Amino acid sequence: MSRKNRSVKANKILPNVLGTYIRVSTPNQESKGYSLGIQRELGQQKAKELGWTYKEYNDGSISGDIEPINRPMVKSLLEDIADDKIGGLFVIKLDRLSRDGDYIDGQVMITMLKKAGIKVFANDMERELQNPAAEMAVRIESVISSYERYLIRERTSSGIRKSIKSGNSANGGAIMAYGFDRKDKKMVINAKEAKVVKQIFELYKKGFGTQRIAGILNDKGIPTKRNTIAAGNMLVKKTITNKSGEKETIKIVKHGKDFVWRDSVVYSMLTNTLYKGEKQWNELIIPVPQIVDADTFDLVQSLLKERTRFKKPIKNQFLLKGLIRCGECGKSFYGHKRADLRDKAYKCLSNRYKAEWCGNRGIGIDYIEDLVWSELLNFEKKVIDTYKWMETDKAVKVYEATIKKSDAIIKDNLEMMDSLTEKYIANKIGDKDYNKFKSRYEAAIEKANAAKSDVENDNFLLVNKKQILDVVKEFTKGMKQTTTFEGMQSYVRAFVDKIVIQSGSPAEGDYYQNVAIYYKMDQFTQFYLKGEVDVMYKRNWHRLRSESKALTVMIHQDVKNRAESFGEALHVTGF
């Protein structure tokens, strides 16, 4: 018999349809891991257990690195969830949905599933996203899965580095750089292509732009690398208009014969150090056969800097991009970094227009990023300190007294119900008295359970202390092992909801900036956790010191109202 499936949004009844998302990362995983067939079979089995209709979303062997929205079946799945067409989701593992490097996609999808109110089955169990503790565990699993993907990349890089140190210079994909071939894992010069490379450099020295050079090569019918090799085909994205008149991105195979010379390709060749005999891989410089002499290569680099016909965009890395908010006007802070690095600061967007500037000062990029990361590394200790303080608070005594009193009431009334039943069976009391006292005892038990449930909800952090501390400990352990920018950014985005910066200038004393960090863990409970740091300055805004405060635990207003019904106003703050 199928179970009714009630959504959390607007009490809507969702259909008894179990959507099953199946995917393998590689064809090899299809044969050695959870194949598509096995995933399908398990999904059908779960639908049968529930008595629900089975619906499949099959993305085949698409890599987990591809954004979910760019996977056809994930897109279809999300649309059906939004349209209330399915009531449940089955995946063999949560990482089938997303293992993105920046942790954002996985967290967004979890939030979407929670809001939709559908049942989620993964890792051989139902994941109750409406339960704060269970939701927290699911989100942490998503973070760990993404971090594991990062570690795989690191191990791959380590293998490549080892191969390079052993003398191999031709690691990489099937296609070598133009002008080179691969022989016994070594890069060797392709004489015919090398002549074209030299011609490109000479043309640029003579004043020809990259677009014009590409045109000359195409006019002469000179083949590109992809034109001449069997592995020249490439999977590319193309935007089309579907039958419904909507824009849609699809993937098509672009055949090697269809590739032509483009100005961007010419530019990348002119700036590629391979041609002057240096292959750069991370921090390593590997000697390779030289096609263009160093003087010619360096001259072309100088010419490229002077000309503006084709500019390559500069990409800056900002650890806290999109997270900082202005405490004065509410606008976002953006990373501002000059090419000469003389001015490096996060600034309020209002600062871009003098007439609209709210007056809130910027803060140094390196300083605030180091400060926030330090606070994250110290988060476990702060949570432990907060628990120590909470357990000495008057609210804990209210909690313990209410639980003790409720348990005693439940126990007494259960015993009286047992006695009542024995008397009724022995015909010592009639139906009227039995029903009257039975209703009275049941009402007392129900009232005591309600009081117990309310106070446990009000003290969620205390009730779930062990689980929360375990999660925080695991999170902090991962952060302490992270040394790369990508790894740090992943943890920051997974753990921090927002950062609010407010400047102050008191009548007397030092200037200051208050940095308030709001943690995403807050969204899983009735409580908000906030960390604060005051940064003190001299009158000329030269930084003096910083003062880190304890965590602040703030309670929703409805929790306070329920607490007052017990005769105690429950208000917890930091110390």
Last residue of a domain, one of 404, 425, 459: 459
pLDDT of residue 560: 40
Q: Do residues 541 and 407 share a domain? A: no
Find the domain containing 58 and state its range: 17-154
Q: Is pLDDT at 134 greater than 80 in this prediction?
A: no
Residue 106 falls within a domain, yes or no?
A: yes
Q: Do residues 370 and 406 share a domain? A: no
pLDDT of residue 554: 59
Q: Do residues 444 and 474 share a domain? A: no
Q: Is pLDDT at 437 greater than 80 in this prediction?
A: yes
Please say whether the beta carbons of 86 and 99 come within 8 A: no
pLDDT of residue 192: 92
Residues 215-267: pLDDT tens digits? 889 888 898 887 776 554 555 566 777 777 777 666 665 554 667 888 888 99
Beta strands in 47-152 (DSSP E): 53-58, 88-91, 119-122, 125-126
For residues 271 and 240, what is the distance between their CA atoms, to the nearest angstrom? 34
Residue 555 falls within a domain, yes or no?
A: yes
Residue 131 falls within a domain, yes or no?
A: yes
Q: Do residues 512 and 562 share a domain? A: yes
Q: Write b or e for each residue in 461-484: b if 16 or more Cβ atoms lie within 10 A of its Cβ, otherwise e.
A: bbbbbeebeebbeebbebbeebee
Q: Do residues 391 and 490 share a domain? A: yes
Q: Any idea what the CATH number is for the domain that residue 289 is in?
A: 3.90.1750.20
pLDDT of residue 196: 94
For residues 280 and 171, what is the distance between their CA atoms, to the nearest angstrom? 12
Residue 435 falls within a domain, yes or no?
A: yes
Q: How confident is the model at residue 424 (pLDDT cuts 50, 70, 90)?
A: confident
Q: Which residue has the higher pLDDT, 491 or 191?
A: 191
CB atoms within 10 A of CB 493: 20
Q: Do residues 449 and 494 share a domain? A: no
Provide long-range contacts, Cβ within 8 A and 24+ apart, for 303-310.
303/204, 303/205, 304/267, 304/270, 304/271, 307/209, 309/209, 309/210, 309/211, 310/209, 310/210, 310/211, 310/263, 310/264, 310/267
For residues 507 and 518, what is the distance between their CA atoms, to the nearest angstrom? 29
Residue 204 falls within a domain, yes or no?
A: yes
Last residue of a domain, one of 404, 427, 459: 459
Element (H or E) spanning 44, and its range?
A: helix 36-50
Average pLDDT over residues 16-44: 77
Q: Poorest-confidence range of 213-227, 272-286, 366-380?
A: 272-286
Residue 170 falls within a domain, yes or no?
A: no
Q: Is pLDDT at 448 greater than 80 in this prediction?
A: yes
The reported pTM is 0.39
pLDDT of residue 158: 64
Q: Which residue has the higher pLDDT, 352 or 100?
A: 352
Q: Do residues 294 and 190 share a domain? A: yes
Please say whether the beta carbons of 573 and 553 come within 8 A: yes
Q: How confident is the model at residue 52 (pLDDT cuts 50, 70, 90)?
A: very high
Report the chain's mean pLDDT, rounded to a whole number. 75
Q: Do residues 328 and 470 share a domain? A: yes
Q: Is pLDDT at 21 greater than 70 in this prediction?
A: yes
Q: Is pLDDT at 310 greater than 80 in this prediction?
A: no
Q: How confident is the model at residue 561 (pLDDT cuts 50, 70, 90)?
A: very low
Q: Any idea what the CATH number is for the domain that residue 28 is in?
A: 3.40.50.1390
Residue 383 falls within a domain, yes or no?
A: yes
Average pLDDT over residues 195-213: 86
Q: How confident is the model at residue 402 (pLDDT cuts 50, 70, 90)?
A: confident
pLDDT of residue 355: 76
Q: Do residues 145 and 72 share a domain? A: yes
What's the structural domain count of the chain?
Answer: 4
Last residue of a domain, one of 459, 477, 500: 459
Average pLDDT over residues 275-289: 80
For residues 116 and 102, what is the distance between their CA atoms, to the nearest angstrom? 24
Q: Do residues 482 and 362 share a domain? A: yes
Q: Which residue has the higher pLDDT, 81 or 143?
A: 81
Q: Do residues 145 and 34 share a domain? A: yes
pLDDT of residue 56: 92
**Strand-strand pairing, 88-91 and 496-504:** unpaired
Q: Is pLDDT at 303 greater than 60 in this prediction?
A: yes
Residue 210 falls within a domain, yes or no?
A: yes
Q: Do residues 479 and 424 share a domain? A: no
